[in-house]
Amino acid sequence: MAFAATALDRFRSGAVSFGVWSLIPSPYTAEVMAAAGADFICLDQQHGLIDPAILPLMVSAVIAGGALPFVRVPSNDAAAIGRAFDHGALGVIVPMIENAGDARRAVAACRYPPEGTRSFGPVRAERVIGSADPVELSKVICIVMVETADGLRNVDEIAATPGLDGIFIGPADLAIALGLPPRGAPRPQALQDAMESIRISCAQHEIVVGTTASDGSRAREAADDGYRMITIGMDATLLDSALRAELAAAKG
Ligand code: 3PY
Ligand code: MG
């Protein structure tokens, strides 16, 4: 399908992509966020409420809205990664990667043998990608998360993993790993320094670096700092803050 090829090419072109985390298990919410102009939507199966039954419907809704569908899988599990792709995701974000072995396993789960370990059964992917050829189906995006003390220590070997498209920094877990609170702005200097070392490692290995921002203007700053894949918020928190503002205006 032309959409998949165009969206994957754009992501890999060096352009900055702004996205939203989706925690609410609703195809409609996902479509609204995609159609609002997000470049990608990350359907979060690690912390979000999105179960395997609704995932394919949400992937379709994201594509209908014109955005690139990513799935954050619950863990570095080859079955979960393969299923996300089989159901039409064009990228995965794999959390809590600690070392090169973890990263190699995540990348292998995204590709078919001989390069990888993925099992063939592209039940929806063949229509989303427009081909049942394993080579074409393997052109999906593999992003791993660095957000632990070991991940930070081993970031260079992780970033050097062949076939890896990028590293997404999880600032909340990374803050906890550094003995800092998971939330709050501005981010403490020690967290900023750790994030910068990961960003530099990604730049050296010519892979995408991504992270979260708490709003659009901080996402813009992250883009100016060299991040290429940035989330501007989450559906649940955006809904919460918009509702609180309107209710405060109404109630005075
Ligand atoms: C983190 O900040 O730890 C994340 O995983 C982002 O969602
Ligand atoms: Mg995390």
Considering only CA atoms, which residue is closest to atom 5 of ligand 1? 170
pLDDT at 185: 86
Ligand nearest to the CA of 169: 1
Q: What is the DSSP string of the chain?
A: -HHHHHHHHHHHTT--EEEEEE-S--HHHHHHHHHTT-SEEEEESSSSS--TTTHHHHHHHHHHTT-EEEEE-SSS-HHHHHHHHHTT-SEEEE----SHHHHHHHHHHHS-TTT--PPS--TTHHHHHT---HHHHT--EEEEEE-SHHHHHTHHHHHT-TT--EEEE-HHHHHHHTTS-S--SSPPHHHHHHHHHHHHHHHHTT-EEEEE-SSHHHHHHHHHTT-SEEEEEEHHHHHHHHHHHHHHHHH-
Ligand 1 centre and the CA of 114: distance in Å?
32
Q: What is the pTM of this model?
A: 0.97
Q: Which residues are near ligand 1 (CB < 6 Å)?
A: 147, 170-173, 212
What residues act catalytically?
Answer: 47
Chain Cα centroid distance, residue 44: 9
Maximum CA extent, the chain: 64
Per-residue pLDDT 10s for the chain (252 aa) are 689 999 999 999 999 999 999 999 999 999 999 999 999 999 999 999 999 999 999 999 999 999 999 999 999 999 999 999 999 999 999 999 999 999 999 999 999 999 999 999 999 999 999 999 999 999 999 999 999 999 999 999 999 999 999 999 999 999 999 999 999 889 999 999 999 999 999 999 999 999 999 999 999 999 999 999 999 999 999 999 999 999 999 999
Considering only CA atoms, which residue is closest to atom 1 of ligand 1? 170
pLDDT at 64: 97
pLDDT at 1: 60
Ligand 1 centre and the CA of 163: distance in Å?
23
Ligand 1 centre and the CA of 198: distance in Å?
15
pLDDT at 2: 86
> How many angstroms separate the CA atoms of 154 and 78, rounded?
22
Ligand nearest to the CA of 176: 1
